[in-house]
């Protein structure tokens, strides 16, 4: 049996979160004394799939069926189940993405597997017991979860696992067909609409985030956030009050009822740090808080802070980043 | 059209999370429980669609012990017609999904809605499990839901964009903003909720497939290093040379 890794691709490239998932899967395979096989979904190129060898993948299965380019829940689930059958995989690893969670939850029923989502660390396997650590209470806590049963599905939280890069190693890419029929595509999207991303960096995948709150005073001031984000190569985000009043789109809302992020660097500008917001960001590696109120609760959760006016501080930071070269 | 809205009973978003001394369970002492915020989108949208259709029913379903009934009554006050409580602690997503699937099948519901995930366990699993158990499509997470006859048009959020998906009833959708403006109960709703039917049933199916061995809180931060606003640029040097994140 090999460990099966689900790799999401977009425009020919393997997503960053999937490089992490591949690295997770190959390390689990090593723990269990077996190999890791990937099954690729979305639009991929053979060259990029072969490069998954750098993340420890031995073999990649790829179905070039054109209708698999966009996410189709029914078809993806069938494809991955077929790949798991072919590889006799007892463990499937995927990203804790909207695609991963949609497919993983269906697969867990179809394959009678135990499912853990939002997983942040490699498993602890001890004899027959298999435990994973996952985020719970919207980032306010972690839970060690025991996955009972023979088959297991693990959805790995983005930015939790360092991707491996073993230069020069390549994976074999193998054509694979799950014999999909029209019936598997009944829930295919009628249309796919992509957002304009500032600098092309997606917030859920970003390893640096610059985020603004009510202290930014209005949507017309977001240029200051965007300038710093652009200089750093970061994604932009916001607090709930900001998306509630439509200064920014809701998909930028970070927090307990928005998205949870865990970048290497999170810069909060004019955000006081309500407990619901902290829940969405507290697994970030380094948190920087800029706020004119020295009593803002966010400072207690920060690594670095500047007590000052965002309108004066932000341009200085952007300038300093540009000077770094 | 028959709507089934699944709600979970979760600690209020402002709750400071603590655990029992053995770290095996969430410490409920003194905690205010609310309807899971994501589920509020599902509930309000179901009521709006029923009102637009001029007929139909909205049934609210909760898997929980008797202490969840105040929030079930709240859902009835917001506008659901009747409620079912499966009398069991929600052991894990698989356990809960089995209860929902059994009730959805027995009641022949057309539309099964729930929130994207619960803010306590954050599984984001139940939607797909229920869909698979019933052999019907799942759309998760859905930002928009419109119905025309037995066809639904949904916007599914994907990383970096959205998909427009059409499915026929029956189907499952897990809901999130900006689907609707969640309603709050009014006085008339609160009065009528008291007499709306709330049926209690016993759980079915197998047990759970996962078990929490231990909860833990995130490590505390070391304390903030403050940089004077006048020399804000020094922060960038620290981020490069000390924190090594840029």
ipTM (interface pTM): 0.94
Nearest-neighbour CA in chain B from A288: distance (Å): 9
Contact between B174 and B40 (Cβ < 8 Å): no
A259 in B contact zone (CB under 8 Å): no
A145 in B contact zone (CB under 8 Å): yes
- The whole-number pLDDT of residue A108 equals 98
Q: What is the pLDDT of residues B21-60, one digit of tens each?
A: 999 999 999 999 999 999 999 999 999 999 999 999 999 9
**What are the structural domains of chain B?**
2-217 (3.40.50.620)
Q: Work out the average pLDDT over A26-48.
A: 96
* Local mean pLDDT, 10-residue blocks, chain B (246 residues): 97 93 95 97 98 97 98 98 97 97 98 95 94 97 97 92 94 95 96 97 94 92 92 95 94
What architecture (CATH level 2) is domain A3-185?
Answer: 3-Layer(aba) Sandwich (3.40)
Q: What is the pLDDT of residues B53-91, one digit of tens each?
A: 999 999 999 999 999 999 999 999 999 999 999 999 999
The span from the CA of B206 to the CA of A47, in Å, is: 45
The span from the CA of A157 to the CA of A118, in Å, is: 5
The span from the CA of B23 to the CA of B68, in Å, is: 23
Q: Work out the average pLDDT over A97-116.
A: 96
Domain parsing of chain A, residue ranges = 3-185, 198-324
The span from the CA of B84 to the CA of B61, in Å, is: 5
Euclidean distance between the first and the last CA atom of chain B, given in angstroms as a whole number: 55
- Sign, CA dihedral B86-B90-B95-B97, equals positive
- The whole-number pLDDT of residue A198 equals 52
Nearest-neighbour CA in chain B from A179: distance (Å): 19
How many residues appear in chain A? 325
For A126, the 3-state DSSP assignment is strand
The span from the CA of B157 to the CA of A251, in Å, is: 9
Q: Please give the radius of gyration of chain A, using alpha carbons only, rounded to the nearest integer.
A: 21
B38: its two tokens: 């994501």
* Residues above pLDDT 70, as percent of chain A: 98
Q: What is the pLDDT of residues A269-316, one digit of tens each?
A: 999 999 999 989 988 999 999 999 999 999 999 999 999 999 999 999
Cis peptide upstream of residue B201 (ω within 30 degrees of 0): no
A231 in B contact zone (CB under 8 Å): no
Contact between A64 and A43 (Cβ < 8 Å): no
A63 contact partners, CB below 8 Å, separation of at least 6? A79, A175, A176, A177, A178, A180
The contacts found for B100-106 with CB under 8 angstroms, 24 or more apart, are: B100/B4, B100/B6, B100/B61, B100/B63, B100/B126, B100/B130, B101/B129, B101/B130, B101/B133, B101/B134, B102/B204, B102/B205, B103/B4, B103/B61, B103/B201, B104/B4, B104/B130, B104/B134, B104/B170, B105/B134
Q: What is the pLDDT of residues A232-279, one digit of tens each?
A: 999 999 999 999 999 998 889 999 888 889 899 999 999 999 999 998
Q: Please give the radius of gyration of chain B, using alpha carbons only, rounded to the nearest integer.
A: 21
Count CB neighbours of A292 within 10 A.
16
Interface of A with B in 283-302 (CB under 8 A): 283, 285-289, 299-302
Asked if B240's CB is within 8 angstroms of A306's CB, the reply is no
Contact between A175 and A64 (Cβ < 8 Å): yes
- Residue A290 marked as a ligand binder: no
The span from the CA of A138 to the CA of A140, in Å, is: 6
CATH number, domain A198-324: 3.40.50.1220
Choose the closest CB to B124 out of A117, A188, A197: A117
How far is residue A206 CA from its own chain's centroid? 8
Buried b (16+ CB within 10 A) or exposed e, B149-162: eeebebbbbbbbbb
Q: Which chain A residue lies closest to B124 (C-alpha atoms)?
A: A101
- The whole-number pLDDT of residue A256 equals 86
What DSSP state is assigned to residue A159? T
- The whole-number pLDDT of residue A260 equals 87
CB contacts, 8 Å: B166 with chain A = 190
- The whole-number pLDDT of residue B130 equals 98
- The whole-number pLDDT of residue A215 equals 97
Written in H, E and C, the secondary structure of B165-226 is: EEEECCEEEEECCCCCCCCCCCHHHHHHHCCCCEEEECCCCCCCCEEEEEEECCCCCCCCEE
- The whole-number pLDDT of residue B159 equals 81
Q: How far is CA A237 from CA A186, A202, A205, A297, B227, in A?
A: 35, 10, 12, 19, 23
- Residue A277 marked as a ligand binder: yes
Asked if B218's CB is within 8 angstroms of A142's CB, the reply is yes
Written in H, E and C, the secondary structure of B88-129 is: CCCCCHHHHHHHHHHHHHHHCCCEEEEECCCCCCCCCCHHHH
Q: Which residue has the tokens 């179809």?
A: A110
- A3-185 matches A198-324 in fold: yes
Best interface-test mutation with B: which of A68, A142, A293, A303 has the largest number of B CBs within 10 A?
A: A303
CB contacts, 8 Å: A285 with chain B = 245
Answer yes or no: is pLDDT of A199 > 60. no
How far is residue B143 CA from its own chain's centroid? 14
């Amino acid at each position: 049996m090999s460990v099966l890794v689900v790799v999401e691709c977009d425009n020919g490239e393997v997503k960053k979160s999937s490089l992490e998932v591949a690295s997770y899967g190959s390390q689990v395979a090593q723990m269990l004394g077996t190999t890791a096989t990937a099954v690729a979904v979305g639009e991929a190129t053979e060259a990029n799939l072969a490069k998954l060898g750098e993340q420890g993948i031995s073999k990649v299965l790829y179905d070039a069926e054109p209708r698999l380019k966009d996410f189709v829940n029914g078809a993806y689930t069938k494809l991955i189940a077929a790949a798991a059958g072919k590889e006799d995989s007892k463990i499937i690893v995927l990203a804790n993405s909207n695609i991963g969670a949609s497919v993983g939850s269906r697969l867990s029923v179809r394959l009678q597997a135990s499912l853990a989502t939002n997983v942040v660390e490699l498993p602890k396997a001890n004899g027959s017991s298999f435990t994973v650590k996952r985020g719970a209470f919207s980032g306010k806590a972690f839970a060690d979860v025991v996955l009972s049963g023979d088959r297991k599905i693990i959805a790995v939280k983005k930015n939790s696992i360092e991707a491996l890069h073993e230069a020069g190693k390549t994976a074999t890419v193998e054509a694979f067909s799950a014999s999909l029929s029209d019936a598997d595509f009944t829930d295919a999207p009628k249309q796919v609409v992509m957002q304009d991303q500032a600098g092309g960096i997606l917030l859920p995948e970003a390893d640096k985030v610059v985020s603004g709150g009510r202290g930014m005073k209005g949507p017309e001031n977001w240029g200051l956030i965007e300038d710093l984000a652009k200089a750093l190569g970061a994604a932009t985000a916001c607090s709930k009050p900001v998306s509630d009043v439509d200064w920014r789109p809701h998909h930028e809302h970070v927090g307990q009822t928005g998205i949870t992020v865990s970048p290497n660097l999170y810069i909060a500008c004019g955000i006081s740090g309500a407990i619901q917001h902290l829940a969405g960001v507290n697994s970030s590696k380094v948190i920087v808080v800029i706020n004119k109120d020295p009593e803002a609760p966010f400072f207690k959760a920060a690594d670095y802070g500047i007590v000052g006016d965002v309108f004066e501080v932000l341009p200085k930071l952007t300038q300093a980043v540009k000077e770094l070269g | 059209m028959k709507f089934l809205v699944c709600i979970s009973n979760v600690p209020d978003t402002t709750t400071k999370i603590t655990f029992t001394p053995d770290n095996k369970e969430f410490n409920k002492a003194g905690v205010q429980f609310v309807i899971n915020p994501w589920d509020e989108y599902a509930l309000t949208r179901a009521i709006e669609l029923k009102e637009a259709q001029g007929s139909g029913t909205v049934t609210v379903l909760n898997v929980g012990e008797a202490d969840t009934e105040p929030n079930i009554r709240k859902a009835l006050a917001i506008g659901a017609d009747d409620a079912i409580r499966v009398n069991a602690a929600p052991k894990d997503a698989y356990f809960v999904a089995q209860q929902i699937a059994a009730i959805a099948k027995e009641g022949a519901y057309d539309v099964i809605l729930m929130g994207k995930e619960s803010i306590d366990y954050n599984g984001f699993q139940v939607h797909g499990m229920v869909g698979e158990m019933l052999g019907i499509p799942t759309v998760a997470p859905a930002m928009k839901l419109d119905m025309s006859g037995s066809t639904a048009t949904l916007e599914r959020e994907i990383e970096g964009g959205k998909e427009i998906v059409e499915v026929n009833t029956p189907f499952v959708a897990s809901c999130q903003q900006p689907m609707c403006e969640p309603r709050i109960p009014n006085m008339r709703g609160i009065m009528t909720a008291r007499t709306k039917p709330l049926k209690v049933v016993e759980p079915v199916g197998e047990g759970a497939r996962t078990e929490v061995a231990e909860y833990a809180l995130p490590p505390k931060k070391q304390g903030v290093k403050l940089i004077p606003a006048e020399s804000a640029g020094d922060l960038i040097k620290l981020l490069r040379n000390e924190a090594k994140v840029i």
